[in-house]
Structure 1
Amino acid sequence: MRALLRRFALFLTLAASLLTFIALPAPSAQAAEVLLSQGKTATASSTEGDFNARSAVDSDPGTRWSSAFADPQWIQIDLGASAEITRVVLNWEAAYGRAFRIEVSSDAQRWTTVHQTATGTGGTQNLAVSGTGRYVRMYGTERATPYGYSLWEFQVYGTAGGSGGEPGRLLSYGRPGAASSSQSDGNCWECTPARAFDRDPASRWATSSTTGWTDPGWISLDLGATAQIDKVVLQWDPAYAKSFQIQVSPNGTDWTPIYSTTSGTGFKQTLTVSGSGRHVRMYGTERATPYGYSLWEFQVYGTGGDPITPPPLPSDPANPPRLVWSDEFDGGAGGKPDASKWRADPGTGPNNELEYYTDHRNASLDGSGHLVMEARKEVTAGSSCPRDPLSGSTTCQYTSARMNTGATFQFTYGRVEARIKVPKGNGLWPAFWMMGADFLTGRPWPYNGEIDIVEVLGKDVKTAYSTVHAPAYNGGGGIGSPYTLPGNADFSDDFHTWAADWNSKGITYSLDGRTVFSLDKDQVEQTRGPWIFDHPHYMILNLAVGGDWPGPTDAGTPFPSKMLVDFVRVYQ
């Protein structure tokens, strides 16, 4: 019996030990290694053609970054926050690096090497590394071929939240500001300090044209409470500061510099800083131009303060995308465009055009699945037509068609495509394009943003154009590119499909499935001015006659002339 009791007591002791073991918390698991680089901001020392840096971080093995054909070259990734880097995977194209370094940095200025080789093999290299930083760079010093450096993918793995911690939140949105002076005239209407803190890249603050084009000049904001500042982003207008300081203050009176430069570059500057205060100020001491100081955006990031949460940014399209809107133009011959999708846009066009756009009189279906937009030589009266100096009457010599989805369909991001056959003839100007929807509520062009998917001039139907227009680059200064068909074929001979893939990183234009032009948002902001296309747009189809760009018609211009549209589709 005693033996049985001893065995029972032993059982209870073991059971108690087991329960104690089960109740104890498990040891902390090591943080899992994750892919940190996908979709992050990437920049490079150079770019060959359309093979830009962001193509190396898009997780698409069919796109790549390529550099100029010289040594050294580099590509770097901003992870957005400090991280413990454990592994780097380089998926090289045939043009690879024989000698290169993998480097990390907290500020993109001072670099630490975590891997180095003089015998790179190309192909896919899976490199175990150990380092901490927000920025990771492949720095190539010797090419293995006569060409440049080219990566299908540059992947960085590790654990987020290294010694630098998570990046601060946006503290400046909607906060009150002050400035040395402000401009309000025909060149810059209501360019007050608040415009720099509204997260609207199409509005700006500027010093006064009558009193403020002097040194020093400044703009400040009140964060509402003391904050720890870790980043400042300045998006300059061409009137930028060559020498300036970023200063902080507890009371708006006593200022302490936390950043200083005498070689400001203008455009977009992302500054890593460290300081504490309730007030933050950009204090300019030397202008880079004869004009004043002007900022599209002055953003302050950190912790603390009394931040106002800004509206959420739009989400990128799903991958693969799905069809969300289309018009195949099916219907009987003579039918009109679907009123639930398109509205006529009557009146005269801008740019000294010669046509009058009718109320769908010049747009119809052909019964074979096409929309026909027809330009005719016929006199039409219109209040906005040119005035005849002899009779005093206002008439246009041509009619045509223009229609849009402004009242029926607006959207942000996606793949937008149309299959079109353009007409040929001097003075003709067919186009498929998009306008920022705030144009309909009163924001003037180009502050609303314009995305031209395709324009063709009838006098040169072997060339097509894709362009964007914004306050800092518009009209003849818009950012775009001409391109041609293989064999220099004529666009008017057949249908062709034009598309724009538009997301938070930029726009890629394609023709018949072939990429013809790419716009990288980061690169535009750093070299041309603010990117203003991250908001709803609507689509426009039109066939213009005459104008500043295409020039006049002549005796050889055929009338009627027809622009045929097979389909318009939007995927998200």
Structure 2
Amino acid sequence: MTSPILVRRRPFALALAVLGLLATYFVVTMTRADAAEVVVSQGKPATASSTQIAGAYLASEAVDGNTGTRWASAYGAAQWWQVDLGTPTAVSRIAINWEAAYAKGFTIQFSSDGSSFTQAYATTTGPGGQQSITVSGTARYVRINLTARALEAYGYSFWEFQVFAGGTTTPPTSGTAQLLSYNKPALASTWQNDVNCNPCSPDKAFDNDPASRWATSSTNGWVDPGWISVDLGATAQISQVVLQWDPAYGTAYQIQVSPDNVNWTSIYSTTTGNGLKDVINATGTGRYVRMYGTARSSAYGYSLWEFSIYGTGGAPATPPAKPADPTFPATRLVFSDEFNGTSGTRVDQSKWTLDPGTGQNGEQQYYSNGDNAALDGQGHLVMTARKETVGGRDYTSHRMNTGGKFTFQYGRVEARVKVPKGQGFWPAFWMMGADFLTGRPWPYNGEVDIMEVLGKDTFTSYSTLHAPMYNGGGGYGGSYKAAGGADLSNDFHTWAAEWDSKGIKYFLDNTQVFYAEKETVENTRGAWIFDHPFYLILNLAVGGDWPGAVDATTPFPSQMLVDYVRVYQ
């Protein structure tokens, strides 16, 4: 039986279902303001360097407004795609809805004649998913020049490529405005309470918890209109509303205010809502505020992770304060295990909770109760994978965590590790949201993978975030290599994460390899659920859905060595 301390999952079926739902509509980040943006690329002539199949996946299918069609290139690293807007246009933003074969490296280029181009944007760390890129310049032709693939065996593909003109993307300063809606009484047209959403009541949109949500009920069918309202407790002057949508979002909706919860006045209206995070700078006066939806993005209803209202007046309740952001480099050591001790010494259980049992994700090992880990007398913890039958499995290994011993929020966490080489090995250093230990299921608690390496390719490491709208095979993260293309199994390497309220920066040997910025994630993937305590985990898995099963070449016994684990604030 799996220990209740830790369940590690990579539910690919769930991830594919989420990705499939996302693919049914085009999610684009838009920061709402009084001036509206306009899509100027739809239906315009598009060309590309290649297509995957002759007569299919055409360049024009990325500007047809249909998220069930896409452009896909031939399999090659150097590709391009461009659209002719027909006339010189002041471009404000580019929105790309990537298929799984996205670009990590690309540039956005502008041209007036289709031959001479200037660069408007460049990246080597593209995250895929739904990207929203603020640009500035005038162009008739907009080109994306693709240089580095996320999936090296394939080419590039996106469902839609949208060029926007007009609009204001920076909200005005709030001045003395504060959050007015936290923990206030809420009502809704309907709300869902079943195995799929239990409960998704209206108060969940105002609890300042981005991992809980309100959703309309499917009992009588998802219908329009659908609404959710909040009582601010007293008359308030509204200056800003922030909506963090679930994939079931409103394409047409209003923000309304009322003095009495009966007579409503609209202070904002749209018919081109596109989901994810909407920051609406709209002013109005009232005690009650309502999102009133009249057109849905899909066959489902309406759902919001958060509905935050800012302004003055009302009767605001102050949400729990977050810890102050660390100043990096952080220097105050708050947790460490240096693994110093005599050879054969077991894991220090004042710091670590042993986690015996079978693994998840198709793993083949049984995690023993500490029999597969000991100090080597040279300052290292040695975690050993063996070929032996225990607990109905043919292999044993080790897993441990700091659950119930040490949790923290924000800081620099690092470990110096030497990983094993061999088909099927899956060493990892990662974190789980501490509320998992009190009953919140994965992925709503949040998972932060600092280091994962597959034994079949010890030249590549992975860092990934998992949350309700991005998890499993659709997690938010990236892969990278050590300096000089070093084999990570030949020596110790240091993996680290610097985490604060703005995001998480990942490092390998003190070189930043990836940045998960909170604002970017909210605007391109979904709610950010990482502003609460987490605990640490180390494990060496054997086999699994991702690394694949062991084979005749897999060496046993094999070892994962840990020099130290440290947390600074």
> Could you say which residue in structure 1 is the equivalent of 2:454?
457
Q: Secondary structure of the equivalent of 1:408?
A: coil
- CA deviation profile, 1:496-531 (whole Å, cap 9, x unmatched): 111111111111111111111111100100110000
Cα RMSD for the two superposed structures = 2.4
Residue among 527, 531, 534 paired with 2:531: 534
Structure 1 residue 426: deviation in Å? Answer: 1.1
Q: How many residues align?
A: 419
Which amino acid in the other structure matches residue 229 of structure 1? I
Partner in structure 2 of residue 262 of structure 1: 271
Structure 2 match to 1:513: 510
Q: Secondary structure of the residue that 2:389 maps to in structure 1?
A: strand
Is residue 409 from structure 1 mapped to residue 406 from structure 2 by the alignment?
Answer: yes
**Contact 1:201–1:532 (CA under 8 A) maintained in structure 2:** yes
2: CA distance between counterparts of 1:420 and 1:445?
26
Give me the TM-score of the superposition, normalised by structure 1: 0.70
Code of the aligned partner of 2:344: G
Alignment CA distance shift 1:209-1:474 (3 Å) = same
Code of the residue aligned with 1:325 in structure 2: it is: F
- Measured in 2, the distance between the counterparts of 1:548 and 1:165 equals 48
Provide the residue aligned with 1:377 in structure 2: 387
- Choose which of 336, 349, 368 in structure 1 pairs with 2:346: 336
CA distance in 2, matches of 1:398, 1:320: 41
Instruction: Look up the SS of the partner of 1:273 in the other structure.
Output: coil
What does residue 89 of structure 2 align with? none
How far apart in 1 are the matches of 2:174 and 2:389? 69
The match for 1:288 is: 297
Match of 1:202 in 2: 211
Shift in Å, 1:303: 1.1
Question: What CA deviation, in whole Å up to 9, does each residue of 1:383-415 have, x standing for no partner?
Answer: xxxxxxxxxxxx111111000111211000111
Which of 335, 350, 362 lines up with 2:360 in the alignment?
350
Between 318-327 and 446-455, report the one with greater CA deviation.
318-327
Verify: 1:427 aligned to 2:424, yes or no.
yes
Shift of 1:140: 6.5
Q: Is 2:183 the counterpart of 1:186?
A: no
Is the 1:241–1:287 contact (alpha carbons within 8 Å) kept by the matching residues of 2? yes
Matched ranges for 1:469-548 at <5 A: 469-548=466-545
Q: Cα offset for 1:485?
A: 2.4
Aligned to 1:243: 252
Question: Could you tell me which of 166, 171, 180 is aligned with 2:175?
Answer: 166
Structure 1 unaligned regions, length at least 5: 1-43, 48-65, 73-94, 98-136, 143-147, 149-162, 382-394
Q: Distance in 2 between matches of 1:289 and 1:480?
A: 27
Q: Which structure exhibits the higher relative contact order, with contacts defined as CA atoms closer than 8 Å and separated by 6 or more residues? A: 2
Larger radius of gyration: 1
After TM superposition, give the deviation of residue 548 of structure 1 in Å: 1.1
- What amino acid maps onto 2:189 in structure 1? S
Distance in 1 (alpha carbons) for counterparts of 2:260 and 2:377: 72
Change (3 A) 1:295 1:461: same
Q: Distance in 2 between matches of 1:469 and 1:254?
A: 42
Please give the alpha-carbon distance, in whole angstroms, between the structure 2 residues aligned to 1:426 and 1:515: 28
Look up the match of 2:185.
176
Q: Distance in 2 between matches of 1:71 and 1:410?
A: 49
Aligned partner of residue 248 in structure 2, secondary structure: coil
Q: Secondary structure at the match of 2:552?
A: coil
Spell out structure 1 runs of 4+ moving beyond 6 A.
none
DSSP 3-state at the match of 1:292: coil
Displacement after TM superposition at 1:138 (Å): 10
Residue type of the alignment partner of 2:363: E
Q: Residues 338-397 of structure 1: CA distance to partner in whole angstroms, max 9, x if unpaired?
A: 22211211111111211111111111000001000011111112xxxxxxxxxxxxx111
Q: Is the 8 A contact 2:93 2:136 kept in 1?
A: no
Deviations 1:140-173 (A, max 9, x none): 679xxxxx9xxxxxxxxxxxxxx97724111110
- Structure 1 residue identity aligned to 2:471: N
1:363 has 2:360 as partner: no
| Cα distance per residue 1:11-65 (max 9 Å; x no partner) | xxxxxxxxxxxxxxxxxxxxxxxxxxxxxxxxx9589xxxxxxxxxxxxxxxxxx
Tell me the secondary structure at the aligned position of residue 449 of structure 2. strand
Distance 2:175 2:510 in 1: 40
Change (3 A) 1:258 1:215: same
Q: Does the CA contact (< 8 Å) of 1:45 and 1:67 recur in 2?
A: no
In 2, Cα distance between equivalents of 1:405 and 1:164:
41
Question: Could you tell me which residue of structure 2 aligns to residue 5 of structure 1?
Answer: none
Q: Is the 8 A contact 2:94 2:135 kept in 1?
A: no
C-alpha distance in structure 2 between counterparts of 1:317 and 1:526, whole Å:
24
Percent of matched pairs sharing the same residue: 64
Give the whole-Å Cα distance in 1 for the aligned partners of 2:514 and 2:221: 40
Distance 1:294 1:346, change over 3 A: same
Contact 2:174 2:239 in 1 (8 A): no
Query: Following the alignment from structure 1 to structure 2, what is the Cα–Cα distance between the partners of residues 563 and 209?
Result: 49
**Correspondent of 2:316 among 307, 312, 315:** 307
Q: Distance in 2 between matches of 1:480 and 1:227?
A: 40
Pairwise CA distance, 1:489: 2.8
**What is the DSSP-based 3-state SS (H/G/I as helix, E as strand, rest coil) of the residue aligned with 2:281?**
strand
By how many angstroms is 1:493 displaced?
Answer: 1.1
Give distance in 2, aligned partners of 1:452 and 1:537. Answer: 12
- How far off its partner does 1:494 sit? 1.1
Aligned to 1:466: 463
User: How far did 1:462 drift?
Assistant: 1.6
Question: SS at the partner of 2:436?
Answer: helix
Distance 1:538 1:402 in 2: 14
Structure 2: gaps spanning 5 or more residues: 1-91, 96-104, 112-117, 121-133, 140-144, 146-171
Q: For the structure 1 residues 415 and 546, does the alpha-carbon distance in structure 2 shift closer, same or farther, using more than 3 Å as the test? A: same
Check whether the contact 1:182–1:212 (CA below 8 A) recurs between aligned residues.
no
CA displacement at 1:189 relative to structure 2: 1.2
Mapping 1:553-572, distance limit 5 Å: 553-572=550-569
* C-alpha displacement of 1:314: 2.3
CA distance, structure 1, for counterparts of residue 192 and residue 529 of structure 2: 21
User: What CA distance in whole angstroms lies between the structure 2 residues aligned with 1:164 and 1:428?
Assistant: 51
Q: What SS class does the counterpart of residue 283 from structure 2 fall into? A: strand
> Quick check: 1:181–1:212 contact (8 Å CA) kept in 2?
no
Q: State the shift of 1:69 in Å.
A: 5.7
Write the letter of the residue equivalent to 1:344: L
Question: Map of 1:440-451 to 2, 5 A cutoff?
Answer: 440-451=437-448
Contact 1:374 1:560 in 2 (8 A): yes
TM-score when normalising by structure 2: 0.70
* Residues 473 and 138 (structure 1), Cα distance of their counterparts in 2 relative to 1, 3 Å cut: closer
Q: What's the CA shift string for 1:417-447, capped at 9, x where partnerless?
A: 1111101111111000000000011101000
Separation in 2, partners of 1:217, 1:370: 58
Instruction: Classify the secondary structure of the residue corresponding to 1:213.
Output: coil
Task: State whether residues 210 and 529 of structure 2, in contact with CA within 8 Å, keep that contact through their aligned partners in structure 1.
Answer: yes
Is the 2:346–2:374 Cα contact (8 Å) retained in structure 1?
yes
